[in-house]
Amino acid sequence: MNIRRGIIVLLTGLLTSITLYGFIGIKEPIKEMNAANLKVVEVPEQTQSMEHPDFIKAVYESVLPEGENIAMHGKVSANSTSGVYAPRKVIDGNVNGPSYWEAAKDSYPNLLTINLKEAVPVHGIRIRLCPLDLWGKRTQSFSVKTSDDGEYFKELIPLKAYTFDPKEGNEVILIFDTQQTQYVQLEFTSNSGASGAQVAEFEIYSK
């Protein structure tokens, strides 16, 4: 027993010596500092908390077309719908939560049409998605068409890809020469963020 105890004490001392040597016995050589590699940074006087300018998010402000959004007084329809995301939600004045229209999966072209009930002069539209960051940046391609009878539509704005970015309100605003029309239609051909077109609010402006 004494021999075993002696061996244990010996091993314990050896391990302690190795550990201490590892902490204090091995030192890296001192490196000389080269003044040419040093950068002098001036620290501003600070009397209150400050935020680095690179982390300051610019405030986005919409520049709406003149006049009133008359789409809310109209009637909306679509040639495709996914579940509870009905067309009527694009004129309810709400862009949050599940209040948006979404077309059925892979059903392009997706048509979203608003009947203004009578021919009126219009000069601008705004297409909105929920502005929260969880609605990530996406691209939707669509054209804008008008009609007097709801049957024959003529192209007002050709097909183009538009970016919807939460940092810029998640919206697209289009202003054009005044048109006298009763029907305004969006024809979607793609959406990088989903398998069908998506619109939270479809606004039409008239002066």
**3-state class of 141 per DSSP?**
strand
Residue 106's pLDDT is: 95
* pTM of the model as a whole: 0.73
What are 73's two structure tokens?
């007084």
- Give the separation between CA 115 and CA 21, rounded to whole angstroms: 85
Peptide bond into 109 cis (omega under 30): yes
**What's the domain count of the chain?**
1
Residue 32 domain-assigned (yes or no): no
Here the CATH number for the domain that contains residue 79 is 2.60.120.260
Query: Domain of 164?
Result: 68-206
- Give the separation between CA 16 and CA 32, rounded to whole angstroms: 33
Q: What is the pLDDT of residues 130-167, one digit of tens each?
A: 999 999 999 999 999 999 999 999 999 999 999 999 99
Mean pLDDT for 91-115 is 97
Q: What is the pLDDT of residues 7-66, one digit of tens each?
A: 454 455 555 555 544 544 445 555 566 666 666 666 667 677 766 666 666 778 878 999
Residue 178 domain-assigned (yes or no): yes
Interstrand relation of 154-164 and 138-147 (parallel, antiparallel or unpaired): antiparallel
Burial of 34-54, coded b for 16+ CB within 10 Å and e otherwise, reads eeeeeeeeeeeeeeeeeeeee
